[in-house]
Amino acid sequence: MKIVKKAQAGTMQSSDLMVFLEPAETLNVTIESTVLKQFGALIRAKVDEMLQKHGIDAGEVRITDRGALDYAIEARLETAIMRGTEG
Amino acid sequence: MAGFKLRRSLLYVPGNMPSMLQNIPIFNCDSVIIDLEDAVPLSEKDAARHLVRHFLLNYTDRNKELLVRINPLDTKWGYEDLKVVLPAMPDGIRLPKADTPEIVERLDTLLTEFEEELEVEIGRFGILPSLESALGVINAVGIANSSERIFALAFGAEDYTASMEIERSRGGEELFNARTRVLWAAKAKGIQAVDTIFADVSDMEGLRNETELAKRLGYTGKCLVNPRQIEVVHDVFAPKQHEVEYALQVIEAIQRARQLGTGVIALGGKMVDAPVVKRAARVLRTAYAHGMVDTLIDEEAIHGAQ
């Protein structure tokens, strides 16, 4: 599935994250986080898992994390993907 | 009493705020109402229901009752809220603007359909209707009887005063008739009654006064907007030690009376008969829920052997 339009989800509050999606030819993920050193790899794994689950193989994915737990990462990505893939 | 559940404090938690949602396990309220309605801006309705669903799916070690306030069923969000959130198994739905029995019946039917689809027991999802308009208050009796899923009626004063075109005062005199009517409907049906929120989080004295009034009238619990309000509400609804002691004496006295072959006896110069015993039993059940007495009173102690 492709990102067909710009979309975002989430907030900049603590324990939350912002997800930005844009159409692109290839898949490119960048993550910015207040806890990147400790949890960067885990966040990346969760993001990859969700993209795979929704079959996203192309798009610009930008995450700004404020210390979100897994459930919030799952939810915000799901919202952004639904917003970015519907016609 | 089968299914007796203490609901003194029902705390609202905004549905689109992870920082609040993930504190739910540590709040010491009896129930939480996760809000998808007024606390969520229109542009974030989809995001909030996804967040609540994922939060609930991850909150497996549950330690309190979890209700979700959906958007009204006549909006474009209400049905979608149910569809996304119910698979994450909340305990029940708080239905805003439950103005008529038909609206509640509609929710009841939808819940049954979802229960069939999810292959869970029919009746698993409860309903807490909000009576928050002149029409809702007038229809209180019909609403209380509109579904067996209803475990309590909730009075909502903010929207009610808006529908009455009046201001809400600190003393709450303008709410008296509505509060009473909601109570009558709940008591006649044998379900609980939950009082409205108290919005001023800094006014603990006002909260205490209003909660005491609600308790005196017959309400069994109150909705809260901030965890700081929990302690005051629990304190007001807790039976006082002297009430518990008196209730224990009443039960002892009536058992003595029954041994003598009568259903009435004097205790400290006051008559004790069936209604007094019933009130004492209520105090003892609540005391049991508060851990103030060790055993739950049985039906035979209340009514005597047949």
Name every residue in A having a CB less than 8 A away from some CB of B.
9-11, 13-16, 68-72, 74-76, 78-79, 82-83
Q: Using the CB atoms, write b or e for B253-269: b if 16+ within 10 Å.
A: bbeebbeeeeeebebee
ipTM over 0.85: yes
**How far from the centroid of its chain's Cα atoms is residue B126's Cα?**
11
Chain A environment of B80 (Cβ under 8 Å): none
State the pLDDT at residue B289.
Answer: 80
Q: Let me know if domain B9-237 sits in CATH 1.20.120.160.
A: no
Instruction: Tell me the pLDDT tens digit for each residue of A73-84.
Output: 999 999 999 999
Nearest to A79 among B19, B46, B55 (CB): B46
Q: How far apart are the CA of A35 and the nearest CA of chain B, in angstroms?
A: 16
> Is there a contact between B50 and A78 if contact means CB atoms under 8 Å apart?
yes
Note whether B19 contacts A68, CB cutoff 8 Å.
no
Q: Name every residue whose Cβ is closer than 8 Å to that of residue A49 and which is 6 or more positions away in sequence.
A: none
Nearest Cα residue in chain A from B57: A71
- Cα distances (angstroms) measured from residue B108 to each of A34, B81, B103: 45, 15, 9
How close B81 comes to chain A (CA, Å)?
14
Does the distance separating the beta carbons of B50 and A16 come in below 8 Å?
Answer: no
Question: A13–B17: do the CB atoms touch at under 8 Å?
Answer: yes
- Full set of structural domains in chain A with CATH: 7-85 (3.30.230.10)
Chain A residues in contact with B39 by the CB 8 A cut-off are none
| Entry pTM | 0.91
* Distance from C-alpha of B243 to C-alpha of B208, rounded to nearest angstrom: 19
**pLDDT digits over B241-257, tens only?**
999 999 999 999 999 99
Q: How confident is the model at residue A87 (pLDDT cuts 50, 70, 90)?
A: low
Average pLDDT over residues A16-44: 94
The whole-chain average pLDDT of chain A stands at 94
- Answer yes or no: do B18 and A83 touch at CB < 8 A: no
A chain contacts of residue B58, beta-carbon cutoff 8 Å: 69-71
**CB < 8 Å to B57, chain A:** 71
For residue B16, the chain A residues in CB contact (below 8 A) are: 11
* Residues of chain A found within 8 Å of residue B53, distances taken between Cβ atoms: 75
pLDDT in tens, B150-204: 999 999 999 999 999 999 998 899 999 999 999 999 999 999 999 999 999 999 9
- pLDDT for B3 equals 59
On whether the CB atoms of residues B9 and B234 are closer than 8 A, the answer is yes
- Non-local (6+) Cβ contacts of B108 within 8 A are B127, B146, B147, B149
CA A32 – CA A64 distance, rounded (Å): 5
DSSP A34-62: TTHHHHHHHHHHHHHHHHHHTT--BEEEE
Map out the domains of chain B as residue ranges. Answer: 9-237, 241-303
Q: Average pLDDT of each block of 10 consecutive residues along chain B (306 residues)?
A: 77 97 96 97 97 97 97 97 98 98 98 98 98 98 98 97 94 95 97 96 96 96 97 93 93 90 89 90 87 83 78
